[in-house]
Structure 1
């Protein structure tokens, strides 16, 4: 990607709290996959965008859950949503949608037409036992 004045403005994160925070455009791609406000019971008080910002902060910084800065929602809330998204398939749906969108923007079919599997034997451990590592390439 060439850095032009437009692309620099488009990707500028200098006015954000953290470099890992979602831009409005990024949030608009993820928001449709977030769980809606429950109709019954207590209403959600926590912003799911703040939860996603906290999760991306953890992933990018590599910090521990306990070291999550205090300007994010409580770590127990963030962890609850992270685990919930793992269990209910939210992460998978986000990934698949963004993957298809990226392929479309590149002018390719949404789904790959073939795959290449490559294997390599590697000596590991003190006794040098061989293990096979596989790499999958989708085309």
Structure 2
């Protein structure tokens, strides 16, 4: 169990947007990270303004979080690329 941060959202709130976030990634192999932790890592970074490499170790590796952020950033306003 990782430490909670003020920038975290509840699991219930996350479940509402999970389908949109999961639709961005092509299913090539099983996911090895918790998507909730990745999303909360992005929120932490946006809230704190820290650099990617300064992301606390409780979150997945910064490169993983950044890769998901880059993919999610490609989403259009209607949720499609």
Q: TM-score, normalised by structure 1?
A: 0.48
The Cα shift of 1:42 comes to: 2.4
Q: In the alignment, which residue of structure 1 is the partner of 2:67? A: 80
CA distance in 2, matches of 1:25, 1:59: 21
In structure 2, C-alpha distance between the alignment counterparts of 1:77 and 1:93, rounded to whole Å: 25
1:44 lines up with 2:31 in the alignment? yes
**What count of residue pairs does the alignment treat as equivalent?**
75
User: What's the RMSD between the two structures over aligned residues?
Assistant: 2.0
Q: Please, what TM-score do these two structures have when normalized by structure 2?
A: 0.79
Structure 1: 5+ residue runs without aligned partners? Answer: 1-15, 95-139
Q: CA deviation at 1:86?
A: 1.3
Bigger radius of gyration, 1 or 2? 1
2: CA distance, partners of 1:54 / 1:18: 10
Distance 1:27 1:93, change over 3 A: farther
Match of 2:52 in 1: 65
Map of 2:43 onto structure 1: 56
Corresponding position of 1:33: 20
* Partner of residue 4, structure 1: none
Provide closer, same or farther for how the CA distance between residues 46 and 32 of structure 1 changes in structure 2, counting only shifts above 3 A.
Answer: same
Distance (whole Å) between structure 2 residues aligned to residue 50 and residue 32 of structure 1: 15
Larger RCO (CA within 8 A; separation ≥ 6) = 2
Q: Indicate if the aligned counterparts of 1:33 and 1:93 stay in contact, CA closer than 8 A.
A: no
Q: Structure 2 vs 1, CA of residues 47 and 60 (structure 1 numbering), >3 Å: closer, same or farther?
A: same
